[in-house]
Chain A
Amino acid sequence: MHSASKERGAADFLLSGNGVKSAPGLFGEAENSCIEPKISARGVNFYYGPKRALKDINMDFSPRLITAIIGPSGCGKSTFIRLLNRMNELVPGTRLEGEILLDGLDIVAPVCDVAELRKRVGMVFQKPNPFPKSIFENVAYGLEINGSLARRAIEEKVEDSLKKAALWDEVKDRLRESALGLSGGQQQRLCIARCLAVEPEVILFDEPCASLDPISTAKIEELILTLKKTYTIVIVTHNMQQAARVSDRTAFFLMGELIEYGGTGMIFKAPHDRRTEDYITGRFG
């Protein structure tokens, strides 16, 4: 899928961060240790009513890297990333302990404006969820609610976002048609374009390919790799090949706990924890 992987030479290998998959895995830890994390979770516990869904999670996300979160169904992957844009607040009866820092500032603090936070931390959901509006309006929505852009500027931004999401060529002649007429894969790229239009700094993907066919999946993965240059990306997946293909770092969750977190290459080739190894080799989960 990637040209880099075909002609992967020694130089490419050392110049990490160009989509060469194993390099950041091997060098990731050392290379990024000096960079301020974009997001850090500190001592996070999360409860649905009395049920504790996350147990003492400590985790940093480095800027401009793709971090994958893997783990069996129900282990708390979605719960965790939905904390990063405070989506879990919509669920009544939940409780959070610990802190979550975005550029060092606590997003859980009462002074933090949740709408402002969500502009900076965008999200793409498991099932494509376009609005029942036109393709254009879907992408323009975030711009219209957030500001005072002129019509012309909105049109440019919509085109630009659709191009970045690799959808422009497929929809440029039908921008006024309903987004619900698009295929599942196109809808998901539209959701990505919609998210890009508000210029977030972080994008959270919650199993973005779970409902897509292999070709659409490949397109989305390719797209995610191109977005890495600009954004901090967190992707939840329970497809381990996908994690291996796209991510720089991988975290393994099990029953609400973070079991192991490190460079993707390391996690897949030489996991430290027995449970990670069992999961990756398909012995359970």
Chain B
Amino acid sequence: MTKRELIQKTGFTLLAMCMAANIVFLGLIIFFIASKGLSIISWEFLTQAPVDAMTRGGIAPAIVGTLYLTLGAVLIALPLGAACAIYLTEYSPKGWTVNLIRISVNNLAGVPSVVFGLFGLAIFVKKAGFGVSMLSGSLTLGILALPVIISASQEALIAVPQSIREASLALGATRWETIHRVVLPAALPGILTGVILSVGRVAGETAPILFTAAAFYMKGYPDSVLSEVMALPYHIYALMTEGTHPEIQTQIAYGSSLVLLALVLSVSMLAIFIRQRYRRGYNA
């Protein structure tokens, strides 16, 4: 073997090992959570409310609460984020204003989530008077999801080739018709992928809902957007830090983690599925 072949071989081996390490870590996390939490999972666990100071019963209100909060966040962030991305890529004059907005959006992505939580507390809970509620929590999570949705949407819009915009305009379409009949449909799979990835992030966040939405314990399900909700991440946190039966609570916490992990992973799989399905799009 020559020296160059040896270098190449070493390089590829290192890359393969790094990739293997990734898979190993992911596998370990899933295995670890599953081994500790799987035993507690049952039909009852998934469909019942907690009882006996959360030492028995299930976690259904927390699952439902997380679904509501996430859905609410997406309903708020998708139209706002998509509109912002459309404005930035399709309408605004290129130049320093756009760059400034772009930088702000990226910085927004770097803001720690607990800061969003405090912001939500000050603005939605207190100022707007929504109280600790699903609405306040969804709004806070929605803002948290905005940067992800904006940048994914921008990428999706930029990936739509200029040539099909020109084709539409050359047929006598206005810019608006071109955007909503040609550009948006072409960008939709990319935008949806961004949405779904942001769902993964939003569903697992604890800090933003800590002060804005989460209830420690609820017997039933929320009945309006202004009621408090239980949510999986906060439920896990509460089980691990409060209460009087640490052993059984720890086990329930692992079971809840497994459910949360399954939710987030299945949403990611959905994103991958959508992307695959539409991959044979314009850049085929």
Write the residues of chain A forming the contact surface with B, with a CB cutoff of 8 angstroms: 85, 87, 90, 92, 115-119, 122-123, 125, 127, 129-133, 141-142, 144-146, 178, 180, 191, 194-195, 198
Contacts and interface: CB of A to CB of B under 8 A. Distances in A.
Q: Which of B167, B169, B186: most chain A CB closer than 10 A? A: B167
B166 A125 contact: yes
A133 B161 CA distance: 14
B167 A131 contact: yes
Contact of B170 (A118, A127, A132): A118
B94 interface: yes
A191 B169 CA distance: 13
A122 B280 CA distance: 28
A125 B284 CA distance: 19
A111 to B, nearest CB: 17
B281 interface: yes
Interface stretch (B51-59, B171-179, B221-229, B234-242): B171-179
Given A132-B164, A180-B280, A122 B170 contact: yes
B172 A119 contact: yes
Interface of chain A, main secondary structure = helix
A195 B170 CA distance: 9
Contact of A132 (B94, B177, B281): B281
Contacts of A180: 280-282, 284
Contacts of A90: 166, 169
Contact of B171 (A127, A130, A133, A198): A198
B9 interface: no
B169 A87 contact: yes
Given A87-B166, A125-B167, A131-B164, A142 B172 contact: yes
A129 B166 contact: yes
B163 A194 contact: no
B169 A118 contact: yes
B182 interface: yes
A195 B171 contact: yes
A194 B171 contact: yes
B147 to A, nearest CB: 27
Contacts of A115: 172-174
A123 B168 CA distance: 10
A145 B170 contact: no
B181 A129 contact: no
Contacts of A117: 172
A85 B182 CA distance: 20
B93 interface: yes
A118 B164 CA distance: 15
Given A117-B172, A118-B169, A129-B161, 18 more contacts: A87-B169, A92-B94, A115-B172, A115-B173, A115-B174, A118-B172, A119-B171, A125-B163, A127-B163, A129-B167, A130-B164, A131-B167, A141-B171, A142-B171, A144-B181, A191-B167, A194-B167, A198-B172
